[in-house]
Each structure stands twice: as structure tokens, then as C-alpha cells.
Amino acid sequence: MANLNIKTVPMDAGKNVVITSLNDQRMISIDLQLSPEEKKVLQDLKIGAEGVIGNFLYWGSVDNETLPLNLKSYIGTIGENNDITADVISKIIVRIAKHVTRYFNTEFAWIETKTFLANDTFIIPRWHIDDKFFKPYTAYKLVWAIKGSQTRFGVTENSMEFSNLTTLEIQAGHGTDENIRIRKELDQIVNEIKMSEKENAALYLSAGENPVVHSEPHMSENRLFLGIVPGTREEISEWYERKRQKDIKKGFDGRKWYYNTL
């Protein structure tokens, strides 16, 4: 496991501190500064929904007054969670989103959550880089497992081989024997990065020149994942249109928790 001394900064750090740190290493660990009461709520969070039903997607301003209300309603449906739990977690998500957008001088973002039930799908990691969200294809993404194992990160010195193998991995089809074989090959050329505490999020270069390699973790317990991509209104609108067309092709256009307030 690689020890690259990824810098940890507090969530309320100034924009210059965050951007300078990102320019140095392409990723940072962010101390979310959770209170003991918030940590207790997260510990008690229950997850009973999986897949598309448990996904929340939002494109718009982090200051939109309906965002915390919709998040609270959503949290109430993913498991047997009371109003206090749903309210606390929705406020944590909005607080994080407001800080992340502030780092990049914007109020707009794509916010996504995903639920997973415990599974063995990623015992062999799926090392990859993110989709190109919007032109000019330079984007940063914050990820954090609100519940469950955190995202894994890695580095590789074989960028060409990595690119070729990830293309083949997608073409092989998720979970097929060939897909697993290629994932094992990828795992041989990626050196995993040691990350910080569980209560820390990761903010990284997800699209652009030399984006950060990452994978879903092995999920030995149920998981609630949060991803936030900040951008201008135009950039987030562009990503909405691209994502919408992808979901229509996959038959996911009827999602319940799907909001565009741009």
C-alpha cells in the first residue's frame, strides 16, 4: 500500500488552502468536523434499500430551499430511520455541499447518493477513473461513505496499460469471468493509497489531465455513498443532459429521487 502522505484539511479551510493542496497531489482528505452527536446518528443509520431505488440525484444550487427537505424525505425511505436521523443526515450533506462549492467559487453542484446492501462484488477492486462530466473535462469530486466502507484510491505508473485494461473491463460486462480476470490484472498495476480516518471525505481530480484512480470498496456492511461534483451552472446543466440521456438508454429515466433545479 502506497503512503503518499495525502494532506488532511478541515472542511472549513479557506479556498486557497484547498486548491493549493489539490494542485500539489490531485487529491486531499477532508476532516468533516462531525460532532459526537452527528457521529452517533451516523452509527445508528439503517439501510434497507439497494440500487436505483436507493439513489438520489440532484443538479442545482446548494442553496435551494427544497434540497434539505428532499434529502430528508429520501433518507426516511432507505431504511427504518426516524425524523431526527433523516434531518441530521440531510443537514450534514447540505453543509458538505456548501463548503465544496465554495472552494470552487460556485453555488452549483451535482449531488448523488447510492445505497448498497452488503455484498462480495468488489472483493477484487474495480480500478477505474470517472466519466467526463462536462467540457473542458476538468472536474473535482468529493466522495464519502456516510455509512460503510470508504472508496479506495490508488496510483499506477502504467497509464497506457491501465487505459487499455479499463476499456476491456467495461466491454467484458460487469461480473463476467472475463471482467473478473481483467480486474485482477488491473489490481496488479495499481498501488493502493493509504487514506485517513473514516469520518474524512476525499476530494480529488476526477476528470482532466491524469485523474485519480479509484474503486468501490469491499462492502462487508450496508453502505450509503455520497458524491458531489461542483461546477458552474452551465457545466452542471451539461452533465444533467448527458446523464439523463444515459439513464434513458438504461431504462432508469423513471427514478423517484431525481431533481433538476437549474
Q: Could you tell me the residue ranges of all domains in the chain?
A: 8-260
Angle, alpha carbons 28-194-175 (nearest 5°): 100
The predicted model gives 175-180 an average pLDDT of 94
The predicted model gives 36-65 an average pLDDT of 91
Domain formed by 8-260, architecture: Sandwich (2.60)
User: Is the Cβ–Cβ distance between 99 and 11 less than 8 Å?
Assistant: yes
Q: What is the pLDDT of residues 111-165, one digit of tens each?
A: 999 999 999 999 999 999 987 888 877 899 999 999 999 999 998 988 899 999 9
Contacts of 22 (CB under 8 A, 6+ apart): 28, 140, 203, 204, 205
Q: What is the pLDDT of residue 52?
A: 67
The predicted model gives 89-102 an average pLDDT of 98
Q: What is the pLDDT of residue 31?
A: 96
Contacts of 181 (CB under 8 A, 6+ apart): none
Residue 105 above 60 pLDDT?
yes
Q: What is the pLDDT of residues 207-246, one digit of tens each?
A: 777 889 999 999 999 999 999 999 999 999 999 998 888 8
Residue 1 above 70 pLDDT?
no
H-assigned helices in the chain = 15-25, 36-44, 66-75, 83-103, 159-172, 177-189, 233-250
